[in-house]
Each structure stands twice: as structure tokens, then as C-alpha cells.
Structure 1
Amino acid sequence: MQTPVTFIIFKRPQTTEKVFQAIRQAKPTKLFVIADGARTDREGEAEKCEATRAIIERVDWNCEVIKNYSDINLGCAKRVSSGLDWVFNNVEETIILEDDCIPHPSFFRYSEELLEKYRSDSRVATISAQNLQFGQKRTNYSYYFSRYSHCWGWASWRRAWQHYDLTIKLWKEVQAENILHDILADPKAINYWRRIFQSVYNNPTGITWDYQWTFACWMQGSLSIIPNVNLVSNIGTGADATHFTSNQEFSFINMSMKAMEFPLKHPPFIVRNREADNFTQKTVYRATVLDIFKEELKKKINYSTLKK
């Protein structure tokens, strides 16, 4: 496979190993690896980071491995965003996987073909692996278009990433001009995303980077490609997870996958699927970002208690 793959890792050797094996089967000729550093106040984390990075040393196919390893802990938001800045400074396009997102083998060919097809089409910003329609078929084609940029396994271009801004500095103007109304129309969706973006604006270097990517795509009026079948399974639950702990129940964690059929059937139009997007808003984006921040705070409090 000629398309570069970007692999984002941290401190979970067990999940990293599984995703690594999926990448190994695809055999990309170029592999970018982004790794965050251990937190000094977390006992045993340095050893976990070291064990995770050691997996990358087992690349045994014809591949140029290019590493961007941080010596200090930057946190999820800064590490992912700065790492992707680095990748897109080096290449025009890439397939991106985090250490807990296992892709179906057909995801790589699907992404590679669509990266080429829409390379110069600024209407499209993201190619996603995720399908969150829970078995509902939204199109007779291989994929449809959405306003939601799902990032559990995705691909994009430098031309799209150049609009990314971790601090979402346009938010005040967007809020003042009520631009979310023009994008979303539905009052419940507007209120949901207003709270999301305000929380991110207040704490841009917190625990999330992907809401900023959604914001960037919306500010450019860009669409995402969503496969008609789910091509990724997120296994990132448990004590080492950043967002999802084992006692949280999310129906889109550990989802089953299906193979993408080839040749791809391309839709003859580039129009978002409103029905699919409405379903996604009601089922996936039904909580608020405050729930995630509360969960992160709870984990920090629990850790502090254990240290005492």
C-alpha cells in the first residue's frame, strides 16, 4: 500500500499490538508514529509507554518508519493535534489510526481509493471508517456524505487539515452570528454543540482534539464520507482509557465490522444524508461534553485517593 499510515500511540501495549497487526497486514510503505510521553505522577506509566513503543520496532516489511515521540506528556489534545500537524507537513494525505481502533482489512483499500478520488475536491474533508447507523442501510452506494467527521479510523488531506485550530478562535464570532443555526437548524442539536464548543473554547488543551476538527470542517462547509458498513471497532475501554472506562455503556464501543465490497459504488452526487445525520445526532451525540469532563475529573480524583 502506497498511502502513508499514521499511528497514534501512548501507553496501551495490548490494544496497540492489535492495531499494529492490522497495519502489518496492509503493509504500508511509509508509517508515521506519534507517541505522547508518560506523566511523571503516574506510577508505572513510563514502563507502559516504553512497552508500547517497542511494538513499533517489530516492523518487518518494506516500510519507512518515521517517529515523533514526545519526551514529556503533552496530553491528548496537544499531542494528537501537534502530531498531525507534523504528519501533514511531510505528506499531502494519510490514513490515521489510534491505538484502540482496529480497522477491517478492507478499510485501507477503501481509504486509498477515496483519497485519490476526492484529492482535489474541497467539499470533502474526511474519509471515515465508522458507520453508526446500527445496521440501517442509508444508501445503495458504498458510502454516503455526512456533516459528522467520525475519527475512529479515518483519512484526510493536508488541504483539509490546514484549517484545524486547536483553540477554535472563531467560536466567539460563530456564536455572535448564530452560525450553528445555519448549520444545524434543530434547536436541540444547536444547544448540544453550543455547549460542546464553549467547553472546548474555555479549555482548548483539555482532553479532546476531535471536536476542534468537527468545528474546522463545519467552518469550511465540508462533508465527511461515511461507509455504508462499519469498518472499525474501538476496543479502548478500561482503566487505561482516556474517555471510556469499563463501567460506561456505549453501544458504539466494540462494534462488529463488515467488509467493504469492491469495486466501490460511488454516489453520483455530493449531498449529505439528512436522515442519517439526524439519527446520529439523536443517538450518538445525546450527552454533553460535560459528561466526558466529569468522567475525566472523577478518574483524577480516584487516582489522587489511591496515591494517599
Structure 2
Amino acid sequence: MNSFVPPKPLKTAVLFVVFNRPDTTEVVFEAIRKAKPPRLYVAADGPRPHKEGEAEKSRITREIATRIDWDCELKTRFLDDNVGCGIGPSSAFEWFFSHEEEGIILEDDCLPDQSFFWYCEELLEKYRHDTRIMHITGSNFQNGWKRDPDYSYYFSTYPHEWGWASWRRAWKLFDYGVSKYPEIVEKAYLDGYYTSKLEQKYRLSKIANTYGKDNVNWWDYQWNFTVHINSGLAIVPNVNLIENIGFGEGATHTLSTKDKRAENKSGTIEVPLKHPPFVIRDVKSDERYFKNLMNRMVTRKIYGLIGIDGFDARG
């Protein structure tokens, strides 16, 4: 049982991005409800007309996500038309940061530990004016491994998007169309930036597949690229604070129920946090993360292609 006791009432706004999954939405909403943010923003893309039953699922999901029974200012952004899971979330973030200087963001399958909210709040305040820091994530994919257990978190170039927080000052740099990509690649500005040639090829291939496209099915690759070309850093907790409960049926990107990330349970982080007295990227932790990422992807694709139950080569 979670024994976390909030040190004070939460004062930070939360954006909740939902769509058509009442089951996961209800679970995540209960975590938000327990934290009692003073301002809640709820954004939802419109249902796809060719998907039978989706309009009703969307209606129920929106109703669940707005069941406010605490002292809270509610703002909603419910689209009638479907714009997709690239423009949909990223435009919701734009809307959120047009109202808030900083805040916490959760999607409908990202279940936070209660300590996540106060972890974000403390870091949003501490690094509010430090433009080196662009992203605070609640996710840790090191499977319990800690390079430096003396501190509560480390600095990374990976802005994991399953439960995160940021500032208006950082999000205003976001470029959905990655317009700077041709110049960055032509002039080799990112050569030596990544932990290996393999990582560079992998990361830039995602941007190559994004550049020049009108409506891609993602926003996180563009955000990664934004952080990288602005020499930005992300904060990663030494304890995983987010459990993704959306693997399998109904998911867009997380289709494999036996993906190792589905086993990545959340824990609790102690607040006040133990802050490192420096701001330096932890290259060793980033190297280990990318190695784990590649191993996981190869396993998923091979097992998915040969038809092993619980794996899907697409994601």
C-alpha cells in the first residue's frame, strides 16, 4: 500500500489528455483526484467517424475525466473532429501552456504514483528559470539500476513522455514540422552528440520520417529533437513513478502486452528531493537506457514477426 503523505497541498496545474479509453481514464483520473490539483485541464481529440462505437466511448471518457468533486478550476478542450495523435496531443500542450507558465501532463494510460505530483512541483520551482532544463519526466526505464543513489534524479537527453512536466519557456521552442532538420543534418551539428553511431542513426531516422509530412502520428520525436538542438536536458527520477496501463488492445503505439515496459511498476520517491549540486548529463545512464531500448525493440520485432503471443512487431 502506498504510504506517501503529501507535504503540502498541490498548487500546480495538471493537463489530462484523454481519447476513447474509459477504463484506463478512470484509473488515472482517480490518481489525479487523490492529488487534488487546484486547476485541471482536460483535452480530448474528436472521435473517428469510421470507428464504430468510438463516439460513445469518447463521450463516456470525457464524462469520467471531468468528475470534479474537489475545489478545482476545470478547463476543457474537446474537439469535434479527429486530428490524430500527433497534432492532437501537441496542440493540447500548446493550449495548456497558453494558460499556464508551468505544469504537469498525464495521458490516459499513464498511472502516476502520488509522489509524482510533488516531485514535479518541487522541480518545476527549482529549475523554473534554468533554461538548460526543458523537461521533467516521471518515467525511469533502468529496471531498478541506479548509477548514483545519492540523489533523487539525474540529468539526461531523453525526455520520456509517460507522465511529465515542463514550462511554457521550453514548450515555446517546440517545432512540430522539425524545420531545422535539413540544416542540422547537412552541417553535421549532431555528430558526436549521441552515445553511439547506432543511436544517431536511430534518432535521426525518426526525424527524417517526420520532416515534410503534414500529419504524422507522433509528437514525441519532434520534442526529443527540440530538446537536443537546444542543448536541453531532461530530469529522470531514480525511481520509476509512472506505470503504463495501456498496453495491448485499444492502444495506438503500445501494442505488445509482453513488452518489458509493461512490467515497469511504479514506486514512491521521497520528498523533499535530494538534489545533485551540479547540472551534468549522466552519459552512462543514457548509454544503458539506449542499450536496453535496442534490446527491447529487437526482441519485440522478432517475436512479433514469428507470431509469439503477446508481441506485436508494430509496437
Separation in structure 1 between the aligned mates of residue 240 and residue 114 of structure 2, nearest angstrom: 12
Distance 1:206 1:253 in 2: 25
Are 1:92 and 2:101 matched, yes or no? yes
Alpha-carbon distance, 1:202 to partner: 4.4
Q: 1:128 to 1:250 in 2, by over 3 A?
A: same
Q: Is the 8 A contact 2:195 2:283 kept in 1?
A: no
Deviates more, 1:34-43 or 1:171-180: 171-180
- CA distance in structure 2 between the aligned counterparts of 1:263 and 1:58, rounded to whole angstroms: 30
Deviations 1:197-231 (A, max 9, x none): 11121435221111111011111100000001000
Shift of 1:179: 2.1
1:249–1:205: structure 2 CA closer, same or farther, 3 Å change rule? farther
Equivalent residue letter for 1:102: L
Q: How many equivalent residue pairs?
A: 290
Task: Show the counterpart of 1:135.
Answer: 144
Alignment equivalent of 1:164, drawn from 174, 177, 182: 174
* Residue aligning to 1:68: 77
Structure 2: distance between partners of 1:260 and 1:223: 20
Partner of 2:312 in structure 1? none
State the match for 1:238 in structure 2.
Answer: 248
Q: Determine the C-alpha separation between the residues in 1 that align with 2:79 and 2:238.
A: 37
What is the SS of the residue equivalent to 2:193?
helix
Pair 1:228 & 2:226 matched: no
Q: Which residue of 2 aligns with 1:209?
A: 219
Q: Is the 8 A contact 1:166 1:205 kept in 2?
A: no
Q: Which runs of 5+ in 1 are unaligned?
A: 296-308
Q: Which digits, 9 at most, give the CA deviation of each residue in 1:147-178, with x for residues without a partner?
A: 00001000000000010011101111111011
Q: Percent of counterpart pairs with the same letter?
A: 44
- TM-score normalised by length of structure 1: 0.91
Structure with the largest fraction of helix? 1
Measured against aligned partners, the alpha-carbon deviations of 1:245-283 in whole angstroms (never above 9, x if no partner) come to 2x4532112411111012211000100111110011111
Amino acid across the alignment from 1:39: R
C-alpha deviation, 1:2, in angstroms: 1.0
Deviation at 1:195, TM superposition (A): 1.1
State the TM-score, normalized to the length of structure 2. Answer: 0.89
**SS of match in other structure, 1:179:** coil
Match of residue 92 from structure 2: 83
1:82 alignment partner AA: S
Distance 1:185 1:281 in 2: 8
Q: More deviation in 256-265 or 12-21?
A: 256-265
Partner of 2:25: 16
Contact 2:118 2:271 in 1 (8 A): no
Name the CA shift for 1:274/1:241 in 2 (closer, same or farther; >3 Å): same
Work out whether 1:283 is the aligned partner of 2:283: no
For 1:197, the equivalent position in structure 2 comes to 207
